[in-house]
Each structure stands twice: as structure tokens, then as C-alpha cells.
């Protein structure tokens, strides 16, 4: 039997839609049938399935399981938890694939699926291929089975295994009622020190704040709690626990590239000369600091699947994105796991002598930058705008890195324009050494956009 998905849900890195509008249980079953067919055709048979705390996730996981079983797959249901727990399960159970039912940091009405296949990210043409299999009804037939495999305690123990701190810390955790809540509560009991967990109850309505640590207003409760508790650090997670947010002891936000510099400094002590990847949105401070510390900084394309693939190709032990995805292949498995990144960061802070996290942050070179600016641009137009800007910059002789959109270097600093791979938006960012320099960079960006009939908001 054939199945056609809504044209908007098969994205570059995952499958995402609005439950009851563009995404249904029938879609979940068809995804299971198509993915299971891929697994069986490749000679495999075991698929791990996990789900987050959204109100629709259990139903979708059930339909997904039915679809996988119909192809003859054995489904290991690892339970409710964060996405990296599913990645971990697929790795340590030697599964042929894994699917996480999660809406990540999207609104409560949204949900979706993140996948791994044969130990590698499953994205791009792989996801589009599922649509083709479903549209043709080209499903493998079989009789599968289900194994209930609650892996939470095992996963938590693996996280704690790499704790390497010295002194006890005061830590505040903000789970945002997301899928990392139960594991965080378990970690807080296993780790030394004094731990306060905010919004640890998993609740798919997200009643306290939206679980997206890249938005400063979502971090206010954590900032207040860090100051009230006189904590050494605050840790926040997104809805499915694969992105991290960090607050220093003075209640200030550390952004993804700043977190990565601190992690890189520690890693380079034991792996001198290591290659460390940051995405194209990262501050120039990251690239200069890693080089200064003896590492080899590499600029990569934005996108967690792309970063993971690049890490494996070049053997990088650490990578990160501005969005808070942190990837450790040093002593770990190379996938984005915010809980594991938190353990490594806590170890670093615990080993700091006569220095706080805030003091370490203040030692980073200071730059003036804009936040990430996202603005609507139709899917059929967004990549054309990038090509138009790129062509004009080439004609002008500008210094451009075109690895992902255009990142333009000037004496003032740099500005970036790229097309989102997952939404009908353009993304821009500017960074300068001074306020006046930032104004000039923004003006140059706005001028290029105006030539393509696009207006930068604000």
C-alpha cells in the first residue's frame, strides 16, 4: 500500500511536522515501514526506538514500532528520554538503526523523527528516499518483534563515568520540562556537590518556558537561580537534550562558541594539535583561540548531521555549533549529547584553580556582535539570494568563505548570510571589534540584501 507524506515534513536533517495537520500516526507507521525496509535490504534487522515527552510522542512511537515490525525488524524500545540516549542505545546495542520520536525545541503541537543508520547520520537524500519508498509502496514484508529495553540507568552511569572533577560544585540545572528531565534528576543524585534541578518534570506542554537555550528569555529562571544559589554554573537543555545552554557564576550566558573554546582548551592538554570544528556562525575568537592554544581549528557547515559526518571524515575529537550542539569523539561516541557535554564542562570547572567560570569567560577576547538574525525568505528564493550576493561579492573582490552561504571578512570583522536548510528563512550574523565597526558591517549586509530585494528586519 502506498503512502504520501505532506510535502513540508521531509526536512534536510530530520522529519518534522504539526501533529494533526501535517503529521499523523499513519505517517509514523509509513516511516517505520520505509526505514525498516532500508534496514532489511541492507541485511540488518534491529532498530532502537525512543521518544520524548510530547503529548503525541507515545502514540507516534507505537505506530512507528508497528511499521518497523511489519518489515520483519526487531524493535528495541529504549523508552522516554533525550535524543542522545537513543543514539547511545543504537551504538551500544549494535543496532542497525535508530529512530527518535521528538519535536526537539519546536512548539508543543509539533513532533518529528531523528534517525541513525548503520552508525551514521541519516539525512538529506536518505530522508527523501523514505518518501520515495513510501510513495511506491515498496515495503519489505515480514514479522518482527518488540523488546522493551529501559536503558536509562545504563546511560546515566555511562555519563557519570567520565566525571573527572576535583572539588564539589554548586550546580543549577534547567530541563525546561523537556525529555532530559528524568536523566538529569538521576545525574544530580550521582554527582558530588549540591544540585538544584528546575522544571525536571517531563511535560510536553512546557508550562514554565519553551525549551530552547539559544533564546535568552528562556534562560532567565536559570540565571536567577544561579545567583540565588550562589552556584558555580547553570546548565540548560533543549526539548530533547541534544543542545546545551550555559550560565556562568555571575549569571551571564556563555554562547556555543564560548563553551567550545573552554572545552577545547581542556582537550588540547591531553590531545595537543587536535582538530576542532566549529560551524560557520562561530566567532572568529574561537578560531584564533584554538590556534593560539596549539589546536587546528576548522570551519564547518551548520547542521548537526553535517558536523557529525565531517568529524568522522577528518578524525576530529571535538566539534560544536553556535546552537549548542556539542560533539565529543574524545572518550565518547561522536554524537551531539548535551548531558555528556555538561559532564565534561563540570569537570573542567571543578578542576579550575583560583578561577571561576566567569573569570575564564572574561579572559576571552571581547568582540561586538549581533545575535543570530533569522528572517523569512521563500524556499524557492532563499538559495538564489545567496548566489546573487556571492556573485556580486566575487565581482567586488571581497574576501569570502563560501563553505555555507557567504562569510565575508573585512578589517572591521565579518558578516554572514546563509540559507537555512530546514526553514524558509535566511540567517545573518555580524561580528566586529568595535560598535562602529559593527554598524559598518551591518550596513554592508543590508546593502547586499537590498540589491536582492530583501530587507533585514530591525
Distance, in Å, from the CA atom of 182 to the CA atom of 401, rounded to the nearest integer, reads: 42
Going by the DSSP 8-state scheme, the letter that residue 276 receives in this structure is: E
Q: Which of 56, 57, 104, 305 is catalytic?
A: 104
Which residue, among 229, 250, 267, has the nearest Cα to 345 in the 3D structure?
A: 267
Q: What is the CA radius of gyration of the chain?
A: 22
- Can 104 be counted among the known catalytic residues? yes
Q: How far is CA 209 from CA 213, 227, 238, 407, in A?
A: 10, 19, 11, 33
Q: How far is CA 295 from the centre of its chain?
A: 23
Question: Are 400 and 394 within 8 A, CB to CB?
Answer: yes
Strand order, beta sheet including 318-320: 296-300, 275-279, 318-320, 326-328
Which residues have CB under 8 Å from 422's CB, separation 6+? Answer: 11, 12, 13, 16
Q: Which three cell numbers stand for residue 161?
A: 563515568
**Cα→Cα distances 228→76, 171, 216, 233, 442, Å:** 43, 12, 18, 12, 38
What is the rounded distance in angstroms from the CA atom of residue 335 to the CA atom of residue 321?
12
Q: Residue 178's closest CA among 232, 218, 228? A: 218
Unique residue bearing C-alpha cell 556571492: 390
The number of beta carbons lying within 10 Å of the beta carbon of residue 272 is: 10
CA distances from 334 to 50, 89, 325, 326 (A): 19, 14, 11, 9
* CA geometry: angle 253, 256, 262, nearest 5 deg: 90
Give the three cell numbers for residue 277: 570544528
CA dihedral for 300, 301, 305, 310, sign (positive or negative): negative
Q: What is the distance of C-alpha 224 from the center of its chain?
A: 25
- Check: CB of residue 48 under 8 Å from CB of residue 113: no
Residues whose CB is less than 8 angstroms from the CB of residue 432 and which lie 6 or more positions away in sequence, other chains included: 367, 368, 369, 412, 413, 438, 440, 441
Instruction: Measure the CA–CA gap between 328 and 386, rounded to whole angstroms.
Output: 32
Helix axes 256-270, 338-351, angle to 10 degrees: 60
Max CA separation in the chain (angstroms): 67
Just list the catalytic residues: 104
Amino acid at each position: 500500500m502506498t503512502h504520501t507524506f505532506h510535502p513540508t515534513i521531509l526536512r534536510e536533517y530530520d522529519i518534522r511536522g504539526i501533529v494533526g495537520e501535517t503529521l499523523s500516526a499513519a505517517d509514523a507507521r509509513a516511516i517505520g515501514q520505509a526505514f525498516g525496509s532500508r534496514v532489511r535490504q541492507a541485511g540488518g534487522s534491529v532498530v532502537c526506538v525512543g521518544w520524548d515527552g510530547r503529548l503525541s510522542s507515545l502514540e507516534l512511537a507505537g505506530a512507528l514500532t508497528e511499521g518497523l515490525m511489519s518489515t520483519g525488524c526487531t524493535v528495541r524500545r529504549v523508552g522516554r528520554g533525550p535524543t542522545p540516549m537513543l543514539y547511545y542505545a543504537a551504538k551500544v546495542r549494535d543496532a542497525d538503526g535508530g529512530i527518535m520520536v521528538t519535536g526537539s525545541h519546536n512548539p508543543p503541537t509539533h513532533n518529528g523523527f531523528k534517525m541513525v543508520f548503520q552508525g551514521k547520520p541519516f539525512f538529506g537524500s536518505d530522508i527523501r528516499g523514505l518518501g520515495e519508498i513510501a510513495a511506491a509502496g515498496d515495503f519489505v514484508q515480514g514479522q518482527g518483534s518488540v523488546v522493551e529495553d529501559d536503558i536509562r540507568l545504563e546511560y546515566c552511569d555511562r555519563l557519570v563515568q567520565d566525571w573527572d572533577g576535583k572539588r564539589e560544585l554548586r550546580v543549577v540545572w534547567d530541563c525546561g520540562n523537556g525529555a532530559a528531565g528524568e536523566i538529569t534528576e538521576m545525574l544530580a543524585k550521582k554527582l558530588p556537590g549540591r544540585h538544584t534541578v528546575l522544571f525536571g518534570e517531563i511535560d510536553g506542554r512546557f508550562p514554565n518556558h519553551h525549551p530552547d537555550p539559544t533564546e535568552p528569555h528562556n534562560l532567565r529562571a536559570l540565571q536567577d537561580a544561579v545567583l540565588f544559589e550562589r552556584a558555580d554554573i547553570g546548565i540548560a537543555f533543549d526539548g530533547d537534550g541534544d543542545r546545551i545552554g550555559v550560565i556562568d557564576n555571575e549569571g551571564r550566558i556563555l554562547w556555543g562558541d564560548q563553551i567550545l573554546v573552554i572545552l577545547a582548551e581542556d582537550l588540547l592538554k591531553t590531545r595537543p594539535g587536535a582538530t576542532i570544528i566549529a560551524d560557520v556562525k562561530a566567532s572568529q575568537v574561537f578560531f584564533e583561540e584554538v590556534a593560539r592554544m596549539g589546536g587546528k581549528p576548522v570551519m564547518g557547515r551548520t547542521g548537526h548531521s553535517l558536523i557529525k559526518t565531517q568529524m568522522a571524515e577528518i578524525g576530529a575529537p571535538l566539534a560544536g555549533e553556535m546552537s549548542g550542539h556539542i560533539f565529543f569523539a574524545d572518550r565518547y561516541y561522536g554524537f551531539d549529547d548535551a548531558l555528556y557535554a555538561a559532564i565534561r564542562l563540570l569537570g573542567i570547572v571543578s578542576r579550575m584553580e583560583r578561577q571561576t567560570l566567569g573569570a575564564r569567560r572574561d579572559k576571552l577576547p571581547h568582540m561586538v556582535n549581533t545575535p543570530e538574525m533569522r528572517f523569512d525568505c521563500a524556499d524557492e528564493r532563499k538559495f538564489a539570494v545567496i548566489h546573487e550576493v556571492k556573485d556580486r561579492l566575487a565581482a567586488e573582490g571581497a574576501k569570502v568563505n563560501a563553505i555555507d552561504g557567504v562569510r565575508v571578512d573585512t578589517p572591521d570583522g565579518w558578516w554572514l548570510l546563509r540559507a537555512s536548510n530546514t526553514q524558509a528563512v535566511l540567517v545573518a550574523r555580524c561580528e566586529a571589534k568595535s560598535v562602529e565597526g559593527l554598524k559598518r558591517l551591518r550596513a554592508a549586509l543590508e546593502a547586499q540584501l537590498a540589491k536582492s530585494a530583501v530587507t533585514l528586519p530591525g
